Structure 1
Amino acid sequence: MPTDASGLGDFDQRIEVLVIPVSDVDRSRDFYVRLGWRLDVTPPWVVQLTPPGSATSVQFGPALTPAAPGSSTAYLVVADIVAAREALVAAGVPVTDYFHRTPEGFTPGLDPHRATYSTRATFPDPDNNTWILQEITTRLPGRE
């Protein structure tokens, strides 16, 4: 018997994989491996990589999605955005400067209090899919 407002009941639902559109599978694989993402074992027509510490992976490959290369945007969550940005830049990734959310909108620079969920930076993959790097140090209740 359903126990929630959706009528579906109470069962786990997890995002396992995000499919991202790329134009050159080998170039994209090499880029994500350079970021330290684990290359997972998959069927030959799929490339799957998993960021360190993540339960969610990304996949790409020929004909996996009709979306145009460069049309994807996703969050990459880190505990220390300064260390993460420095490591990405050292790996040759063009990461934007920091910016943070205020009541008026986004403002340049690190959040002065380094409040969780506040500071961000972005970087593109080789096809210009956008990754939003976000610092999360304490999860909202229910988000363990």
Structure 2
Amino acid sequence: MNWTLEVVIVPVSDLDRAKEFYADRLGFVVDHDTVIGDEARIVQLTPPGSGCSVVIGKGVVPQMPPGSIKGLQLVVPDLHKARAELLDRGVEVSEIQVIGENPRPVPDPLDNVGFVFFDDPDGNAWAVQQISSRP
């Protein structure tokens, strides 16, 4: 049986600001923006190529303090290119960091161990890891 993670709820304080950040700055696709009533709205966004979406909302998502999610992680095949794209889109992103030692020989020394980090406007913390091939 396959078990797939398909939605992660990210708590935010300002839904429109968060939607702009994830869609316009990170380039996530807006799958839907659904108003359920006067006090309820759900926005689902998906990173390009991902099988897992992010849901932000108000009124119907579990109540968590905005900014309380830490350690969300995206994976890209080229960390230099991803970092440059984030910077071009106005995202404050860390320098490339190498964390740990590569578990196997790879042609690119950043594979598996190269990371950059950024926060959304509420302080939810994201990592981006380079993995260009998998065994």
Question: Is the pair's TM-score, using the shorter chain for normalization, greater than 0.5?
Answer: yes
Closer, same or farther: CA 13–102 of 1 in aligned 2, 3 Å: closer
Unmatched runs of 5 consecutive residues or more in structure 1: 1-10, 104-111
TM-score by length of 2: 0.84
Question: For residue 69 of structure 1, what is the amino acid of its counterpart?
Answer: P
SS in 1 for 2:34: coil
Identical-residue share of aligned pairs (%) = 39
State whether residues 77 and 134 of structure 1, in contact with CA within 8 Å, keep that contact through their aligned partners in structure 2.
yes
Q: Which runs of 5+ in 2 are unaligned?
A: 36-40, 102-106
Q: Report the AA paired with residue 118 of structure 1.
A: V
Which residue of 1 is the match for residue 122 of structure 2? 127
Q: Aligned match of 2:113 in 118, 124, 127?
A: 118
SS of aligned partner of 1:46: strand
Secondary structure of 1:133 counterpart: strand
The 1:99/1:71 distance shift into structure 2, 3 A limit, reads same
Q: Which residue of structure 2 lines up, in the alignment, with residue 96 of structure 1?
A: 94
Select the structure of larger CA radius of gyration: 1
Matched residue, 1:87:
85
Show the counterpart of 1:59.
Answer: 55
Q: Counterparts of 1:116 and 1:48 in 2: how far apart (Å)?
A: 30
May I ask how many residue pairs the two structures share in their alignment? 122
Tell me what 2:10 maps to. 20
Which structure has the highest strand share of the two?
Answer: 2
Equivalent pair of 2:98/2:110 in contact (CA under 8 Å): no
Name the CA distance, whole Å, in 1 between partners of 2:90 and 2:112: 25
Q: Which residue of 2 aligns with 1:5?
A: none
**Alpha-carbon separation, structure 2, partners of 1:57 and 1:92:** 22
CA gap 1:91/1:38 in 2 versus in 1, 3 angstroms: same
Residues 20, 65 of structure 1: 8 Å contact kept = no
Cα root mean square deviation, aligned: 1.6
The equivalent of 1:4 in structure 2 is none
Deviation at 1:113, TM superposition (A): 4.3
Distance 2:43 2:82 in 1: 24
User: What's the secondary structure of 2:95's corresponding residue?
Assistant: coil
User: How far apart are residue 71 of structure 1 and its match?
Assistant: 1.1
| Structure 1 position 67, deviation (Å) | 1.5
Aligned partner of 2:19 among 29, 37, 49:
29
SS in 2 for 1:87: helix
Report the TM-score, using the length of structure 1 for normalisation: 0.79
Residue identity in the other structure for 2:126: W
